[in-house]
């Protein structure tokens, strides 16, 4: 089961890498107003990718695991973050990690388009 983070209610805006060849990098872009909601959203995303990595086909397993790792690391940091300002500072420290998810996200999107039925679960 693949998870599209953009389909979850989240205080983050996730650009869609499949809408344009020149899509912006995959990273949160809006200011957080609900730190607890953000923790919950990243925690859920991490758990979904953790479960997905256990059953992912070999051809996408490394991509799923890479996303899982970044989400897990960031979720851990978020649990220790006490304010929106601290969150923004931590987010800047993960910018390169989120940028690094662009290609894996594109490959997962392509795999999903080619191998998964629309609306299937």
Quick check: 78 and 42 in contact, CB under 8 A?
A: yes
Structure tokens at 3: 């998870």
- Listed range (5-9, 67-71, 92-96) with the worst mean pLDDT: 5-9
Identify the CA nearest to 53 among candidates 69, 65, 44, 70. 65
Check the CA dihedral 98-100-101-103 and report its sign: positive
This prediction has a pTM of: 0.68
- pLDDT confidence of residue 2: 42
Quick check: 97 and 73 in contact, CB under 8 A?
A: yes
Confidence category of residue 108, pLDDT binned at 50, 70, 90 = very high
Structure tokens at 52: 């997905």
The DSSP code for 6 is: G
pLDDT tens for each residue of 24-54: 444 454 555 688 898 999 999 999 999 999 9
């Amino acid at each position: 089961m693949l998870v599209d983070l953009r389909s979850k209610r989240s205080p983050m805006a996730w650009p869609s890498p499949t809408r344009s060849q020149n899509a912006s990098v995959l990273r949160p872009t809006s200011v957080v107003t609900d730190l607890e909601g953000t923790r919950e959203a990243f925690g859920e995303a991490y758990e979904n990718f953790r479960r997905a990595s256990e059953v992912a086909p070999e051809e996408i397993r490394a991509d799923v695991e890479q996303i899982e790792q970044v989400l897990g690391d960031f979720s851990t940091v978020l649990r220790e973050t006490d304010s929106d300002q601290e969150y923004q500072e931590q987010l800047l420290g993960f910018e390169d990690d989120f940028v690094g998810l662009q290609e894996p996200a594109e490959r997962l999107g392509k795999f999903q388009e080619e191998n998964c039925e629309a609306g299937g679960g």
